[in-house]
Amino acid sequence: MSSRVVVTGAGVISSIGAGADDFERGLYAGTTGVGPSQLFGEGATTAEVRDFAPQNWLGPKGLRVLDRSARLVCVSSHMALCEAGLSQADAAEGDPGLGLICGTMFGSLHSITSFDWSGLTEGPNLVNPMAFPNTVINSPAGHAAIKHKLRGVNSTICAGLASGLYAMHYAAEFLRFGRAKALLAGGVEELCEESFLGFRKMGAASASGSIRPFAADRDGSVLGDGSALWMLETEDAACARGLRPVLEVGGFGSAHDAHSTSAFDVRADGATSAIRQALAASEIGPEQIACIISGASGSRAGDLMEARALRNVFGDLLGGIPVSAPKAAFGEGLGVSGAFCALAGGLALHRQSAPPTAGYKESEFGLRLSAEAQPFQGKHVLINAFGCDGNNAALVLNLRT
């Protein structure tokens, strides 16, 4: 039996588009989702999902008790299940072979804070019991399982900005071991006042309100939110269903800097190691990477760290490899960002064209970025997700021919 794991569907909701087609259009048009916030008022700049209306996908019932994260991941799961032809909407019981692996960073932070706030201001006896289940970090994944009858493995992975890629790898391993039939994998992150204020206080927010990855005048990041999931299956299972998937999840690498909980390690040891592991696990050399999807988000130290890691691994090859930094479009999505970038990498491989980096002018690191799409020929794309919490992950995607 083949242990290859392939992509048979995608669901995404983001500031640049809802649904894989919209996301692709927005990304390749070079548009950005960075703009005035609806959540915090026009004075604030975010890359949030605007005019979010989950009932458009989920119907009007059953939304009341879901927090924003749960709504986002229920929508992206719905999309991915439908695209893969695995929706359980008409099934009485649901499928024990279907599961969800969800990455997130702050998860339920806002639900926890709201519950606490209510206890403090109204008294511990008057907290809303229906709001309590939402305070656990795996409640969004649980709600998605209930809504879509996913009776298989259900796990939430919390690994900072690398969460989305960790989730995809974890799901791929589950499938390779034959322990599931089909798994949704990716991430979700909701933008909330708590993360927004914390991010700003830490000095990570862009003062100018724009993301300029790798630029000399970059001044920080802009938070985004949303959810992105792939439907993953073994190639055998997908082919048995009559599908001809072209996208394969390749090697994965991860390393913790063990340096700080809030500052990038600019020596880039962890990031370098993560990329090298991903290439080794894919049994390919750096010269076979045709395109790089960077996790750079305009952070002074973070972008420097990633540029160093890329230089360490690719050396003189680097100037010839198209690089895309799509967070300029969908913002710094924290726990979902790896999954957003993986979807962008999948599109790049499929179209043989690196997505534009929105608003890009010049890199101070000699990287081949562009405000236009960059065509390439090749079978392997590298996705990076590095975080200031020390978590670093890299994933290779392969094109099946």
Partner 1 sequence: MNVTAEDIRTEVKRLIAEVTERTPEEISDTALFQDELGVDSLMAMEVMVAVDKKYKINIPEEEFAKIKNVDDTVAVVQRYLGEAA
Of 125 and 401, nearer to partner 1 (C-beta) is: 125
CB-based contacts of 395: which residues, under 8 Å, 6+ apart?
165, 168, 169, 249, 250, 251, 252, 253, 278, 338, 342, 345, 382, 383, 385
How would DSSP label each residue in 236-293?
A: HHHHHTT----EEEEEEEEEE--S-SSS--TT-HHHHHHHHHHHHHHT--GGGEEEEE
Q: Which of 35, 62, 209, 359 binds partner 1 (CB under 8 A)?
A: 62
Of 41 and 60, nearer to partner 1 (C-beta) is: 60
Shortest spacing between CB 146 and partner 1, in angstroms: 13
The rounded distance, in Å, linking the Cα atoms of 81 and 77 is 6
Of 293, 268, 286, 301, give the one whose Cα is nearest residue 367.
293
Of 62 and 198, nearer to partner 1 (C-beta) is: 62
Which tokens is 84 given?
Answer: 């893969």
Q: Assess contact for 400 and 349: CB atoms under 8 A.
A: no
Shortest spacing between CB 56 and partner 1, in angstroms: 17
The rounded distance, in Å, linking the Cα atoms of 168 and 183 is 9
Of 21 and 116, nearer to partner 1 (C-beta) is: 116
The rounded distance, in Å, linking the Cα atoms of 245 and 355 is 21
Shortest spacing between CB 110 and partner 1, in angstroms: 19
Shortest spacing between CB 69 and partner 1, in angstroms: 19
Is position 207 an interface residue for partner 1 (rule: CB under 8 A)?
A: no
Is position 124 an interface residue for partner 1 (rule: CB under 8 A)?
A: no
Size of residue set near partner 1 by CB under 8 A: 12
How would DSSP label each residue in 171-193?
A: HHHHHHTT--SEEEEEEEE---H
- Scanning 122-130, 167-175, 286-294, 384-392 for contacts with partner 1 by CB under 8 A, the matching segment is 122-130
Is position 64 an interface residue for partner 1 (rule: CB under 8 A)?
A: yes
Of 3 and 128, nearer to partner 1 (C-beta) is: 128
The rounded distance, in Å, linking the Cα atoms of 264 and 392 is 10
Taken as a whole, the chain contains a residue count of 401
Grouping H, G, I as helix, E, B as strand and the rest as coil, residue 377 is coil
Residues 73-92 that bind partner 1 (CB under 8 A): none
CA end-to-end span of the chain: 18
Is position 122 an interface residue for partner 1 (rule: CB under 8 A)?
A: yes
Q: Assess contact for 377 and 222: CB atoms under 8 A.
A: no
Shortest spacing between CB 122 and partner 1, in angstroms: 7
Shortest spacing between CB 64 and partner 1, in angstroms: 6
Shortest spacing between CB 144 and partner 1, in angstroms: 19
- Scanning 126-134, 135-143, 314-322, 387-395 for contacts with partner 1 by CB under 8 A, the matching segment is 126-134
Shortest spacing between CB 65 and partner 1, in angstroms: 9
Of 62 and 97, nearer to partner 1 (C-beta) is: 62
- Phi, psi at residue 381, to the nearest 5°? -120, 140
Q: Which of 1, 42, 43, 61 binds partner 1 (CB under 8 A)?
A: 61
Is position 258 an interface residue for partner 1 (rule: CB under 8 A)?
A: no
Q: Which of 90, 92, 93, 129 binds partner 1 (CB under 8 A)?
A: 129
Shortest spacing between CB 20 and partner 1, in angstroms: 30
Of 43 and 124, nearer to partner 1 (C-beta) is: 124
The rounded distance, in Å, linking the Cα atoms of 166 and 225 is 18
Q: Which of 1, 92, 126, 207 binds partner 1 (CB under 8 A)?
A: 126
Q: Which of 125, 261, 377, 401 binds partner 1 (CB under 8 A)?
A: 125
Shortest spacing between CB 104 and partner 1, in angstroms: 24
Residue 88 region, left (φ>0) first, then alpha (ψ -120 to 50), else beta?
alpha
- Residue 320 burial (C-beta neighbours within 10 Å; 0-12, 13-18, 19+): exposed
Instruction: Note the residues at the interface with partner 1 (CB under 8 A).
Output: 60-62, 64, 122, 125-130, 133
